[in-house]
Amino acid sequence: MIYRNPGSSFRNLVAGTDVKIPLANGKYVTGINFDNAATTPPLSAVIREITQFAPWYASVHRGKGYKSIVCSDLYEQGREVVREFVNADKRDVVIFTKNTTESINMLAYALAAEKEQVVLTTDMEHLANDMPWRDKFTVDYIALTKAGRLSLRSLESKLQAYEGRVKLVAVTGASNVTGYINPIHKIARLTHQYGARIFVDGAQWVPHISVNMRPPDSVEHIDYLAFSGHKMYAPFGTGVLIGPKATFDNAIPVYQGGGAVGLVSQQSIEWDDPPAKCEAGTPNMMGVLALITAIETLSKLNLNSIHSYEQRLIDYAISGLLTIPGITLYSIRDGTEARVSLVSFSLEGLHHSQIAEILSQKAGIAVRNGLFCAHPYVEKLLRLSDEEIKYYQTHDDKKLPGLVRISFGIYNTISEIEVFLDLLSHIASQRQYYANKYSYVLEHNRPGGDGKRADFYC
Ligand code: PMP
């Protein structure tokens, strides 16, 4: 396949894109990273800011020293940068967390009240937007269509059936397995019509497309949103939770300690106002600097341009994958093309862990394989029965089911996809040879393995 413009004008903005890595044969090649849905490399601008700011680093909210004041101001400005980025309302608080998982757990604790209240989540969620609700609410799951997309019919019938008891609809903006983008504002409209609120897991959504929470007086607005810095080129441990301040005003925070309080005695606690109340302990100032630098860079590049560039990459990859015999894709082209830049597949005759291993060892291509921490979704896409799942849960030495995922960032190129497609075509044509050569290896059998099965990792 010949493509006229194989480069990416974004490539030199990202650190480490030219790093050489070793192959199994001892040769070195420039690594190809198609695992951006797990985490992205840092933007060079982020590294530069961190280095330049380092001499000014000091405690946040904990001193009258000049540097402390500079850091505290920057940290607080960070909330405004985030607010503007997603057009959050001024009555919302922007809480800095460690990542999306922590944000969702924090929200679940803040909202938890009576057990009779219902949280509707979906069959396509990452475990981070499923497990935190389970022990605090009655949880039900919005079903999928045959194509694996979210069924709005199922959403509406559940909202009707629960007759006003649904407190929250917790849904992903985009799936980390199929890449499908959900019609969030339509879902918000339906949710609000039935008196519930909507939380959007933005981990795979916010880095790839322009997101607008819309004003609270719009029936299509997003009530709560979470996302992670490390999936948008800012890997310094910062996540975000946004929602109405009132939600956090009366809730007891999950983490308690210094920085979250006014005056405390052994008999009583005077809580600070949110967001400080929700951020006990020393704030991750450098993480926030990284995040706001990434936001400013991505905004300058324009999220719409990023989205259309990444669409070209994923379209090209899907077209190529469809020509390889034995490949099954787990998201279909259905005309809407509402997807982010990732796709999952399997290749008949080879286990997903073998494919990932071969791609890495032969060409230095990093992909992800397994269940991507979206176990129920992958189980449904693979049509696993309850008995089969039980079987895998109770047989540690069995090959776990799963898929292979490729996910692109702004710095990936058509040329890299061609390298990947060429190798995958070759593997597909020599399946038996590769099946014998790369026998399935459990992590705990490897030197330095930690005894856990690699396929469970997110
Ligand atoms: N939701 C989705 C859709 C994800 O893809 C991920 C990360 N794989 C998460 C939540 C969790 O993100 P984090 O690991 O940053 O907490």
Q: Are residues 19 and 52 in the same domain?
A: no
Q: Are residues 380 and 354 in the same domain?
A: yes
* pTM of the predicted model as reported, rounded to 2 decimal places: 0.94
User: Containing domain of residue 152, as a range?
Assistant: 47-299
pLDDT of residue 334: 66
Q: Are residues 410 and 313 in the same domain?
A: yes
DSSP state of 41: P
pLDDT of residue 53: 98
Q: Are 178 and 172 in contact (CB under 8 A)?
A: no
CATH number for 369: 3.90.1150.10
Ligand 1 midpoint to CA 172 (Å): 10
Active site residues: 373
Q: Are 213 and 207 in contact (CB under 8 A)?
A: no
Task: Answer with the one of 278, 299, 320 that is the final residue of a domain.
Answer: 299
* Cα distance between residue 310 and residue 81, in whole Å: 24
pLDDT of residue 44: 97
pLDDT of residue 105: 98
pLDDT of residue 8: 76
Task: Answer with the one of 248, 279, 299 that is the final residue of a domain.
Answer: 299
* Cα distance between residue 13 and residue 17, in whole Å: 9
Ligand 1 midpoint to CA 103 (Å): 10
Asked, for residue 3, whether it belongs to a domain, the answer is no
Q: How many domains does the chain have?
A: 2
pLDDT of residue 294: 98
- CA nearest ligand 1 atom 12, residue: 100
Pocket test for ligand 1, best of 228, 233, 340, 378 (most atoms within 8 A of CB): 228
pLDDT of residue 170: 98
Pocket test for ligand 1, best of 121, 209, 457, 458 (most atoms within 8 A of CB): 458
Q: Are residues 380 and 404 in the same domain?
A: yes
Asked, for residue 389, whether it belongs to a domain, the answer is yes
Pocket of ligand 1 (CB under 6 A): 37, 99-101, 126, 128-129, 172, 176, 201, 203-204, 228, 373, 458
Ligand 1 midpoint to CA 337 (Å): 22
Pocket test for ligand 1, best of 36, 96, 101 (most atoms within 8 A of CB): 101
Q: Are residues 188 and 321 in the same domain?
A: no
Residues in the chain predicted with pLDDT less than 70, given as ranges, are: 1-7, 334-337, 440-458
Q: Are 352 and 370 in contact (CB under 8 A)?
A: yes
Ligand 1 midpoint to CA 160 (Å): 30
Q: Are residues 332 and 275 in the same domain?
A: no
pLDDT of residue 6: 53
What are the backbone dihedrals phi and psi of residue 168, each rounded to the nearest 5 degrees, phi first? Answer: -145, 140
**Beta partners for residue 269, in sequence order:** 264
**What is the per-residue pLDDT across 16-53, written as a single tens digit (0 to 9) for each?**
999 999 999 999 999 999 999 999 999 999 999 999 99
Closest ligand 1 atom to residue 201 Cα is 1
